């Protein structure tokens, strides 16, 4: 199951780099409409971390679980910032809200899968109070 999550993470990262790069550096800004620049920059840069986390998960590196959890938390934080942006009455695209919801749920799921073996190991080695 972790290998499937790794593959999803890496492919999602590559797609994120491509789509964010188009908006930031090519002709995609006009098609993106009322995009939120700091969200696009976060997602673009996070795409590289998604690929790295995917590679780490594929190779079952211990740091990849923490990186996945960090990505989930950072994505949720930026999603909350988007909520503040919207609450302030600023322009946005509904597809940005949907994309951030997808990213947050995806990384929460990947982090849960990646961290589960660590949690099981900690339960086995935790000293019991008598």
pLDDT reported for residue 29? 82
pLDDT reported for residue 118? 67
Residues of the chain with pLDDT under 50: none
pTM: 0.85
pLDDT reported for residue 32? 84
Percent of the chain with pLDDT strictly greater than 90: 78
Angle, helices 2-25/37-58, rounded to nearest 10 degrees: 150
Half-sphere exposure of 121 (CA within 13 A, CB side): 6
* Residue 62 CB contacts under 8 Å (≥ 6 apart), including other chains: 118
pLDDT reported for residue 26? 85
């Amino acid at each position: 199951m972790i290998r499937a999550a790794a593959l999803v993470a890496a492919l999602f990262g590559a797609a994120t780099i491509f789509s964010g790069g188009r908006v930031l550096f090519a002709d995609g800004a006009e098609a993106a409409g009322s995009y939120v620049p700091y969200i696009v920059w976060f997602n673009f840069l996070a795409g590289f971390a998604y690929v790295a986390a995917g590679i780490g998960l594929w190779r079952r590196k211990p740091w990849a679980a923490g990186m996945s959890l960090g990505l989930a938390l950072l994505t949720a934080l930026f999603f909350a910032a988007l909520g503040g942006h919207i609450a302030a009455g600023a322009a946005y695209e509904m597809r940005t809200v949907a994309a951030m919801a997808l990213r947050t749920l995806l990384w929460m799921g990947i982090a849960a899968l990646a961290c589960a073996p660590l949690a099981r190991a900690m339960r086995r080695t935790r000293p019991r109070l008598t």
